[in-house]
Amino acid sequence: MAEQRKKKVVRVETAASKGASGRTSAAGGSGDATEPAPGWTPTPEAKQQATRFRIIAGVLWLLAIAGEAVAIFWVLRQTPVNLWLLIGLTVVIGALAITGSVLWKKANRLDPASKQDTVRFFVQNQLGAIIAVIAFLPLIVLIFTNKDMDGKQKAIAGIIAIVIGGGAVALGVDYNPPSVEQYTEESNLVAQLTGEDLVYWTKSGSVFHVCADVPDVNKESQDNQIYEGTVAEAHAAGKDRLTKRWESEAVNYCGYSEAEVEAVKAGTDAPASDAPAQTPAEEEPAETPAAN
C-alpha cells in the first residue's frame, strides 16, 4: 500500500522531455512494447554540461602537469633546493589533479562510455587516476634521487608527495563506473514496469525510484520536493543509478504485483491484470469446431 504523500512532485523539463533522446517508449499493459529500447543517449543539456566539465578538467590537468614540470626542471635544479616552494607546488599539483578528477567523474555520469569498447571504457573512467600517476610518479622519483637535497629534505618532500599523489590516484579511480548499458537497462526496466520512462528522486539523494510514494523520497528535505523526470534527466541531475530496492518498493509502495515485477526482471512486459482471463476466452471458439 502506498503511503500518503505529503511532498510536492515537480516535473523536470528539458529539451529532451518531448523527444526521443534518453527516453524509452512503452505502453504499459498493451503488449506492444516488447522490443527493447535503443541504446541510451544523454539529453542535449547533459551532453553539453559533460563537455564543459571535461574541458575544465582537461585544463586543470594540464596545469597540474605544468606544475610538475616547474618542480622538476626549475625547483629541483636549484642549489640549494627551496623545500617550501617544492612542497607548495606539490600541494597545488594535487589540488588541480583531484579537482579535475571530480569534474571528469561528473561528466562520465552525464555522458557515460559503452562497455562494448573496452579500451575506451577503461581509459575514460580511470583517466583521473592515470593523470595523477603522470603528475606525481616522475616527481617522486626525482625527489628521492636529487643530489642537492639531504636525507631529511628528501624524506619530508618525498613523503608529502607520496601522500598527496596517492590520494589523487585513489580519488581519480572510479570504483563503480557508469555505462551506456547500465542506463539503457534502467530505462527499459522502468518503461516496462510503469509504461513510461519516468522516475523520481530528491535533490539530496544519490539514486532514483520507480514511483513517488516510496518512503525514501517522502522523507523531510530542505526543499520538500520530489522530482519527476526521465532516466536521462535523473542522471543529468546527478543521480547515480536506480535504487537497488526497486523490486520491494514497486510491490510495497507503488501498487505493482510480484508477478509484474518478475515479468520485468525476466525482460518481458508486466502482464495486464486481466491477462489470465483473456487466454481461455480466446481459445474456446477454436475448440468448438474441433468437437463437431
Cα–Cα distance between 134 and 157 in angstroms, integer? 18
The grid cell for 60 is 586543470
pLDDT level of residue 221 (50, 70, 90 thresholds): confident
- Taking the complete model, does pTM exceed 0.85, yes or no? no
**Span 84-96, pLDDT tens digits:** 999 999 999 999 9
Per-residue model confidence (pLDDT) at position 46: 85
Query: Does residue 39 sit in helix, strand or coil?
Result: coil
Q: In this predicted model, which residue has the larger pLDDT, 79 or 136?
A: 136
**Residue 84, Cβ density class (10 Å: 0-12 exposed, 13-18 middle, ≥19 buried):** exposed
Per-residue model confidence (pLDDT) at position 4: 53
Q: Pairing relation of β-strands 8-11 and 225-229?
A: parallel
The grid cell for 278 is 483473456
Per-residue model confidence (pLDDT) at position 223: 84
**Span 266-278, pLDDT tens digits:** 874 444 444 333 3
Cα–Cα distance between 201 and 233 in angstroms, integer? 10
- Residue at grid coordinates 606544475: 67
Q: Give yes or no for residue 24 having a pLDDT over 60.
A: no
Per-residue model confidence (pLDDT) at position 5: 59
Q: In this predicted model, which residue has the larger pLDDT, 287 or 132?
A: 132
Per-residue model confidence (pLDDT) at position 14: 62
Q: Which of 4, 12, 24, 11 is nearest to 186 (CA)?
A: 24
Q: What letters, b where the CB count within 10 A reaches 16 and e where it falls short, cover 237-272?
A: bebebbbeebbebbebbbebeeebbebbeeeebbbe
DSSP E strands in the chain: the ranges are 8-11, 199-201, 207-208, 225-229, 241-242
Please compute the mean of the pLDDT values over residues 135-153 and round it to a whole number: 96
Q: In this predicted model, which residue has the larger pLDDT, 273 or 7?
A: 7
Q: Give yes or no for residue 162 having a pLDDT over 50.
A: yes
The ranges assigned to domains in the chain are: 8-13+22-29+195-269, 44-172
